[in-house]
C-alpha cells in the first residue's frame, strides 16, 4: 500500500476526485502479531458491513486517541474541511468512538467538551462520523449523546489505565528492570523471560518487568577503543587529567567515568582510583552492569 504524507497527495493520486467515503484504521506494530490479528479482524468486519474503500482513502493511525493532536487525525480533519463531499453528505468510517478520541485534559481528566467540539467540526463540514460499534440512529442529538457517552467511558478507562501503568512502571523501575523505552546508544534490550534480544520497537512479554540492558556487540568494542585512545592522549598532554576510565551503564547510555589526579611527571603517569562522586553521577555502582531501571 502506498503511504501518503498528506491528503493532497491522496487527492492528486486519485486525479483530484473527492470520494464520498473515507476510512480510518489502526496501524499495528509488525512485531506485535496478536495486535495485528485483532486489527485485521476489525478491518474485515468494517468491510463486511460497509464494503471496501479505496486504499488511497484509508488513513492508518498509529497514535493514541487521548489527544486530537495526532498528525494523521489533523490531516484527515483538514481534508474534510477543505473538500466538501460530492453528494452533499460524506462518511468517515471508524471502528469505535475511542479510536476517534478518548480525550484527556491537561490534568488527565476526561474532556468531553473537546470531543464534542471536534465531532461537530466534521459534522459542520458535511462529513458524518460512522462507528461500527455504535451505529447511528438517524437522530442527530441522540447520536452525538450516545457517541459521547461511549467516548467518555473510554476516556475514563484511559485515565485509569495510565495511572495503573505509571504505578507499574515505578515499581518495575525500583526493582531494577529497564522501563524507559528504547535502549540507549551502545546497548540492547533483552527479555529475560524469553532470553532473547528485542528488536527496535518490539515489545517484551506481557506481565511487566523482565527487561534488562545488555551491551551491543556491534558498537561497544569500537567505543571502548576510542575511549582508551582518547584517555591516553589526555594523559600524555596534561599534568592534570583522567588517569582511569571505565564504561558505566547509565540511564542516558554509556558514560565515560574518569577519575582526576595530579600527575607528578608526564613521562611516568600513574593510575589513580576511580572517583566515587563521578561514579554516582553516572548512576552506577562498582562491579558488573546487572539490571538497569
pTM comes to 0.53
Q: Is pLDDT of 265 > 50?
A: no
Cβ burial, residue 22 (10 Å; 0-12/13-18/19+):
buried
Burial 207-224 (b: 16+ CB within 10 A, else e): eebbbbbbbbeeebeebb
Residues present in the chain in total = 293
Bridge partner residues of 24 (DSSP): 59
Task: Read off the pLDDT of residues 244-259 as tens digits, 9 standing for 90 and up.
Answer: 444 444 444 444 444 4
CATH of 7-171, one of 3.40.470.10, 3.40.50.1390, 3.40.50.620, 3.30.930.10: 3.40.50.1390
Cell (9 digits) for 18: 473527492
DSSP characters over 97-139: HHHH---B-TTS-B-HHHHHHHHHHHHHTTEEEEETTB---S-
If one compares 162 and 90, the residue with the highest pLDDT of the two is 90
Q: Read off the pLDDT band of 158 (50, 70, 90).
A: low
- Give domain limits for the chain: 7-171, 178-293
Amino acid at each position: 500500500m502506498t503511504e501518503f504524507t498528506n491528503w493532497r497527495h491522496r487527492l492528486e493520486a486519485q486525479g483530484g476526485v473527492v470520494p464520498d467515503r473515507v476510512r480510518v484504521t489502526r496501524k499495528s506494530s509488525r512485531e506485535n502479531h496478536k495486535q495485528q490479528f485483532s486489527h485485521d479482524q476489525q478491518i474485515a468486519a468494517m468491510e463486511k458491513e460497509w464494503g471496501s474503500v479505496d486504499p488511497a482513502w484509508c488513513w492508518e493511525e498509529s497514535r493514541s486517541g487521548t489527544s486530537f493532536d495526532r498528525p494523521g487525525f489533523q490531516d484527515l480533519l483538514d481534508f474534510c474541511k477543505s473538500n466538501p463531499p460530492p453528494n452533499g453528505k460524506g462518511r468517515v468510517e471508524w471502528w469505535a468512538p475511542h479510536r476517534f478520541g478518548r480525550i484527556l485534559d491537561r490534568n488527565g481528566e476526561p474532556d468531553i467538551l473537546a470531543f464534542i467540539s471536534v465531532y461537530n467540526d466534521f459534522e459542520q463540514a458535511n462529513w458524518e462520523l460512522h462507528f461500527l460499534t455504535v451505529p447511528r440512529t438517524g437522530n442527530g442529538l441522540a447520536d452525538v449523546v450516545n457517541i459521547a457517552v461511549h467516548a467518555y467511558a473510554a476516556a475514563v478507562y484511559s485515565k485509569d489505565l495510565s495511572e495503573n501503568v505509571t504505578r507499574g512502571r515505578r515499581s518495575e523501575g525500583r526493582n531494577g528492570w529497564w522501563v524507559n523505552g528504547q535502549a540507549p546508544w551502545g546497548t540492547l534490550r533483552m527479555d529475560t523471560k524469553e532470553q532473547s534480544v528485542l528488536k527496535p520497537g518490539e515489545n517484551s512479554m506481557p506481565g511487566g518487568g523482565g527487561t534488562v540492558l545488555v551491551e551491543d556487540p556491534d558498537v561497544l568494542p569500537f567505543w571502548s577503543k576510542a575511549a582508551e585512545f582518547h584517555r591516553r592522549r589526555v594523559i600524555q598532554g596534561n599534568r592534570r587529567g583522567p588517569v582511569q576510565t571505565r564504561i558505566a551503564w547509565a540511564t542516558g547510555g554509556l558514560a565515560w567515568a574518569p577519575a582526576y589526579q595530579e600527575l607528578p611527571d608526564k613521562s611516568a603517569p600513574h593510575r589513580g582510583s576511580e572517583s566515587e562522586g563521578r561514579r554516582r553521577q553516572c548512576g552506577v555502582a562498582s562491579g558488573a552492569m546487572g539490571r538497569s531501571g
